[in-house]
Amino acid sequence: MAGIRMIDIAVNFTDGMFKGIYHGKQCHVSDIATVLNRAWAAGVTRIIVTGGSLEESREALAIAETDGRLFCTVGVHPTRCKEFEESGDPEKHFQALLSLAKEGIQKGKVVAIGECGLDYDRLHFCPAEIQKKYFEKQFELAYITKLPMFLHMRAAAADFCEIVEKNKDRFTAGVTHSFTGSMDDCIKLLSFDKMYIGINGCSLKTTENLDVVKGIPVERMMIETDSPYCEIKNTHAGIGFVKSTWPSKKKEKYDQECIVKGRNEPCLVKQVLEVVAGCKGINDVSNLSRTLYHNTCRIFFPHDLDSAADALLAGGNST
């Protein structure tokens, strides 16, 4: 698979696992640099680091500033939307997000507003009414900054699509990431112009999931790991399509030459690519990766499109 280039649109580098901390216990050294080296070697050329709260978005921006190939989002995850009200001044909290986004845009690092949306599987973290209120509010961030949106939809398709419909003129484009919905949900999402669907290991668990992925046009798809979560497990329906593997060891026996068992990481986005190709019966994985790469650049890195297109026409490999 020479010449494959991939962009992982969702990596949670702010998660403790990348600092070697699991359930509050330090198991190994912080190893983002090692994880990145594995990703670059696998053909990943860019990574978008996810922000899920004001504090996390600050940290995501700081991480993105450490490497020219790292970028990030600024926003509040649906399960954390209580932070607007717990801050004591929701409007001030919103303004802090806006100024962080503007700072990140100036630095050439913030490429999307998010992760925002609705998650009705985890209402114990944040009630639906608060989720809806602050999902809607974050369209203002997208409108002011002109950034695309990085979206989360879990067991909430009807309300989610209603809010997107109401605000569709307030954002330029978006991706509904970590998609695990039905074909109906998928059709609803694709009815919005410039809405893409993000696929990771959680999108590829069951044969039903694979049937839905088969029906998503590759022109409207992006790939991601959502690491350290959402790995493709041996029990997943798509595992038979996986060709690329890495040696792994348990976190207690940490070895920087190996991936950590049970911790997803960006190099494994290659497996997502392989499963998407396999379940769709696509033999030319290289061509598929080009389409997905182009989709991602179109939304998150539009300045690179011309040079990317020129390079492809020239049969070149660099953007």
Kindly give the parts of the chain with pLDDT less than 70: 1-2, 305-319
Query: What's the confidence (pLDDT) of residue 305?
Result: 61
pLDDT at 317: 47
Residue 236 is labelled as binding a ligand: no
Helix (H, G, I), strand (E, B) or coil at 247: coil
* Dihedral over alpha carbons 13, 251, 201, 245 (to 10 degrees): 110
Q: Which two tokens stand for residue 233?
A: 């497990």
Say what the pLDDT of residue 302 is.
87
Q: Which domains does the chain have, with CATH numbers?
A: 4-308 (3.20.20.140)
User: How crowded is residue 298: how many other Cβ atoms within 10 Å of its Cβ?
Assistant: 18
The response to whether 67 counts as a known ligand-binding position is no
| Average pLDDT score, the chain | 94
DSSP 8-state class, residue 319 = -
177 known ligand binder: yes
Question: What span, in angstroms and rounded, lies between the C-alpha atoms of 206 and 225?
Answer: 17
Tokens at 133, concatenated? 């209120």
Kindly write down the DSSP assignment for every residue of 111-164, as one continuous string: EEEEEEEEEGGGTTTS-HHHHHHHHHHHHHHHHHHT--EEEEEES-HHHHHHHH
Please state whether 135 falls in left (phi above 0), alpha (psi between -120 and 50) or beta. Answer: alpha
> 162 Cβ partners below 8 Å, 6+ apart?
none
Residue 28 labeled ligand binder: yes
Which long-range CB contacts under 8 A does 125-131 form with residues at least 24 apart? 125/79, 125/80, 125/82, 126/78, 126/79, 126/80, 126/81, 126/82, 128/156, 128/159, 130/81, 130/82, 130/84, 130/85, 131/78, 131/79, 131/81
Dist. CA 282–CA 260, nearest whole Å = 30
Residue 188: φ, ψ to 5°: -60, -45
Whole-number pLDDT of residue 241: 97
